[in-house]
Structure 1
Amino acid sequence: MREILAAQLKDAMRGGDKRRISTIRLIQAAIKDRDIAARTAGKGAVNDEEILQILAKMVKQRDESARIYEEANRLELAQQEREEIEVIKSFLPKQLGEEEVRQLCAAVIADVGADGLRDMGKCMAALKERYPGQMDFGKASGVVKTLLQ
């Protein structure tokens, strides 16, 4: 994943795409921050799965920021956030559709043997492990909760 980011940064620099350059640098800075935190905690560098989690979090943050900017009628800043979201999403795996998420949640519930809301944590942990960066876990949480009730 790191090599892909480095290669994409070089391509963006050659092409003069300033938005892409700045966004990739932001991604690399977030990864470096997580690396430093991991080293401080006595762990190794972050792996690709953790990088996908960082990217998903960055998309969520920018989506929230864009919404706030739109409410404040700062449309140029909202547009900037949306452009950054598109760059970040280009590094994430294809997102699963609503019906696919529902089917996968049902399958995980069956696999884990969940029979009530107290097993929701197990189900969510399994989903995050199996499908990192492929679904919105906030929405998946609602689906799991509905299926377990």
Structure 2
Amino acid sequence: MSTLKQTLQHDLTEAMRARDQVRTATLRMALTAVTTAEVAGEHHELTDADVLKVLTKEAEKRTDAVEAYQAAGRPELAEAEEAERAVLEGYLPAQLDDAAIEALVAEAVSETGATGMGQMGQVMKAAQAKAAGQAEGGRIAAAVKRALAS
């Protein structure tokens, strides 16, 4: 079992003991998503990197939900999603700042030899591998577009 999954399970137990409803619900959801990923396709146990991918995806879902609820004028639901995202972000690596993403993308462009938007996929693949979960795909894509447009 991955150490990150064990940490999630331990923290769930602690949250239940502390009667922290938001943390308990969020960690249950995260562990359910991890279990679903484990049994999807081939039944296998996820590595820490795979668990991080699942947690990142769940955090991105919360970000999208916050935006949707705010646009719909439902601040109470947006706050609930924001609280869940904050719990999940505690398990994710620190996010890169814009300057670091720009440098990472510039390095990926030079490695791939990309000259235009036609090679965006190649640059994205290289940049996302370098970011290793430390930046959202949308931020990387925007930086790649800016780099290839110039």
Q: TM (normalized to structure 1)?
A: 0.88
CA offset digits 1:75-132 (Å, max 9, x no partner): 2211100000100111100000111111111111112222222222122112222322
SS in 2 for 1:134: coil
How many Å separate the matches in 2 of 1:71 and 1:104? 32
* Alignment match, 1:57: 57
* Alignment match, 1:23: 26
CA offset digits 1:20-73 (Å, max 9, x no partner): 011011001111111111326xxx333222222222221221122122222333
Task: Please say if 1:100 is aligned against 2:103.
Answer: no
User: Contact between 1:63 and 1:81, CA under 8 Å: does it hold in 2?
Assistant: yes
Mark the runs of 5 or more structure 2 residues left unpaired by the alignment.
none
Give the alignment's Cα RMSD to 1 decimal.
Answer: 1.6
SS in 1 for 2:94: coil
Task: Please say if 1:34 is aligned against 2:37.
Answer: yes
SS in 1 for 2:25: helix
Task: Please say if 1:76 is aligned against 2:76.
Answer: yes
User: Contact between 1:105 and 1:127, CA under 8 Å: does it hold in 2?
Assistant: yes
Q: TM (normalized to structure 2)?
A: 0.88
Pairs within 5 Å for 1:134-149:
134-149=134-149
Change (3 A) 1:118 1:72: closer
